[in-house]
Amino acid sequence: MLDTFAARGDATSARTAGEGTVMSQPQQEKRTTRRFSLRLPVSIRFTNGGVHEFSAETRDVSARGVFFYIDKRLSEGSNIEFTLTLPPEITLTESIRVRCKGRVVRVEESPEERVGVGAIIDQYDFVAES
């Protein structure tokens, strides 16, 4: 029965399984594309009473979004621009810089001073090397 719920992806708070054990059911996965655990340098740019630019490092990347760590707190819903460089190991040619426009959809506080930020990619362009 638990396999049926997991396969359907029903979001329920808890079910009893056996002798008084309460198990949480998995929430339905919202991601539609595969994520890749990639630690890539990324330049983040946003406006908040002025233009701010920070360097960061990605935790994972997908075709529709990115998760990175930054030393500055961003608010959910904030519009951001970020540029990352895909290395030859990924592109199978030379490095390719990609400039993206997107928005913050998740902010995770961490015990360290860094903040985890999940952002979706609304638009992207390949940037010519200068």
Express each pLDDT in 33-44 by its tens digit: 788 899 999 999
Neighbour-count burial of 44, counting CB atoms closer than 10 A to its CB (0-12 exposed, 13-18 middle, 19+ buried)? buried
pLDDT (0 to 100) of residue 30: 56
What is d(CA 2, CA 23) in angstroms, rounded to the nearest whole number?
10
Enumerate residues 6+ apart whose C-beta is below 8 A from 74: 46, 80, 104, 107, 115, 117
Is the pLDDT confidence value at 27 over 60? no
Q: Which CATH architecture has domain 41-127?
A: Beta Barrel (2.40)
What is d(CA 97, CA 15) in angstroms, rounded to the nearest whole number?
47
Express each pLDDT in 57-115 by its tens digit: 999 999 899 999 988 888 999 999 999 999 898 889 999 999 999 999 999 987 778 89
Residue extent(s) of CATH 2.40.10.220 domains in the chain: 41-127
Residue 98: both structure tokens together: 């990609």
